[in-house]
Amino acid sequence: MFARKLGRRALMSMVAGGALALGGAGLAPKPSFAGDDQIVEKIHFLIPGGAGGGWDGTARGTGEALTKAGLVGSASYENMSGGGGGKAIGYLIENAASQHGTLMVNSTPIVIRSLTGVFPQNFRDLTLVAGTIGDYAAIVVGKDSPINSMEDLLAAYRADPSKTAIGGGSVPGGMDHLVAAMAMQAAGEDPTGFKYIPYDAGGKAMAALLSGEIAALSTGFSEAVDLANAGEVKIIGVTAGERVDAYPDAPTLMEQGIETTFVNWRGFFAAPDLPEEKLAAYQKAIGAMYDTPEWEEVRARNGWVNIHNSGADFQSFLEEQEQQIGDLMKTLGFL
């Protein structure tokens, strides 16, 4: 079952590689005479969304850490919005021969949107490089809510389902909805039975939470921590396998008997048919990055969780996530 299997490693977001048409030979093995730790000469990061979004921050933060640590000589960035990320994916595939110097960032939506037909491609059409970071999901309630645990929320739902709606910042069938549904499913409830209300802005969702329009909000863990630190919400459930250091007072769903975990991964993809030596160099540079103070500075600043997965593990993870998300979306009527 999706709710029981989406674990810390399992849900990593892997990102696809893309670049400028002239960005080809960006990977150079470290010369034997090099006096530093450089592994890759340059990387062009292709970002499937606009400036300031999660993909943009992930690509630029990763490039910052890699270059400042001396693992990569230089990094460049290109934002290519459109088609829910499909424009960048299509560009990378169609121009594969000239894009060996490009890494494209992506995340869980590459799985969801390929399943729902937002774009025709999927992760199999790309070279899988590595999943790098993640953000767990969380269920929160208003600071003055009588609900203090998932048990309380479930009790309220069972007593009066029509008055126990759950809100989120994604459309029906999007990530916030799926997280709420998998939590309900793992708790033994019908994942199609609860009322989900989407909001297009965080302020609107918070207003709905405080007014009682919704009983709980499904959101990203880092956002939940910001709200909790501001004294606006209580975090009643986190989709991590164990409590997260960034907010150790927040209980996991698992410890409350709801056996489900989930993480919105982010990671990197490259063009199809990337030469093996270039793939190996990319993976080596990303793997070495985790041991550097430059990466820790970037990670801590953004509140990211380290979730590193590459090679065959990345492939297996994506295939498992695709199957499990697909099964849940069929149950919910979105496929």
- Residues 192-241 pLDDT 10s: 999 999 987 667 888 899 899 999 999 989 889 889 999 999 999 999 99
Asked if residue 43 and residue 24 are part of one domain, the reply reads yes
| Residues ≥6 apart with Cβ < 8 Å to 98 | 19, 21, 22, 23, 24
Q: Are 163 and 194 in contact (CB under 8 A)?
A: no
Structural domain contains residue 329 = no
Structural domain contains residue 334 = no
Domain end (from 220, 237, 256): 256
Structural domain contains residue 211 = yes
* pTM assigned to the model: 0.78
Q: Are 199 and 205 in contact (CB under 8 A)?
A: yes
Structural domain contains residue 95 = yes
Asked if residue 216 and residue 70 are part of one domain, the reply reads no
Distance of CA 134 to the CA centre of its chain: 5
Asked if residue 281 and residue 188 are part of one domain, the reply reads no
Structural domain contains residue 321 = no
Residue whose tokens read 């969380």: 138
Asked if residue 220 and residue 168 are part of one domain, the reply reads yes
Asked whether residue 152 carries a pLDDT value surpassing 60, the answer given is: yes
Asked if residue 76 and residue 50 are part of one domain, the reply reads yes
| Residues ≥6 apart with Cβ < 8 Å to 195 | 161, 162, 164, 165, 166
- For position 98, which CATH number holds? 3.40.190.150
Asked whether residue 167 carries a pLDDT value surpassing 50, the answer given is: yes
Structural domain contains residue 333 = no
Minimal CA–CA distance to 109: which of 135, 127, 129, 91?
135
For residue 293, the model assigns a pLDDT of 98
User: Residue 257 is encoded by which pair of tokens?
Assistant: 């008997």
Structural domain contains residue 325 = no
Lowest mean pLDDT, pick from 7-16, 59-68, 175-184, 278-287: 7-16
* Distance, CA of 94 to CA of 97 (rounded, Å): 8
Percent residues over pLDDT 90 in the chain: 72
Asked if residue 126 and residue 25 are part of one domain, the reply reads yes
In tens, the pLDDT along 275-333 reads 999 999 999 999 999 999 999 999 988 878 899 999 899 999 999 999 989 999 999 99
User: Residue 94 is encoded by which pair of tokens?
Assistant: 């169609």
Asked if residue 274 and residue 252 are part of one domain, the reply reads no
- For position 211, which CATH number holds? 3.40.190.10
Asked whether residue 4 carries a pLDDT value surpassing 70, the answer given is: no
Asked if residue 124 and residue 40 are part of one domain, the reply reads yes
HEC readout, the chain? CHHHHCCCCCCCCECCCCCCCCCCCCCCCCCCCCCCCCCEEEEEEEECCCCCCHHHHHHHHHHHHHHHCCCEEEEEEEECCCHHHHHHHHHHHHCHHHCCCEEEEEECHHHHHHHCCCCCCCHHHCEEEEEEEEEEEEEEEECCCCCCCHHHHHHHHHHCHHHCCEEECCCCCCHHHHHHHHHHHHCCCCCCCCCEEECCCHHHHHHHHHHCCCCEEEEEHHHHHHHHHCCCEEEEEECCCCCCCCCCCCCECHHHCCCCCCEEEEEEEECCCCCHHHHHHHHHHHHHHCCCHHHHHHHHHHCCEEEEEECHHHHHHHHHHHHHHHHHHHHHCCC
Asked if residue 189 and residue 155 are part of one domain, the reply reads yes
Asked if residue 274 and residue 215 are part of one domain, the reply reads no
**Full residue range of the structural domain in which residue 118 is found:** 2-134+265-312
Asked if residue 147 and residue 126 are part of one domain, the reply reads no
Structural domain contains residue 307 = yes
How many folded domains does the chain comprise? 2
Asked if residue 271 and residue 246 are part of one domain, the reply reads no
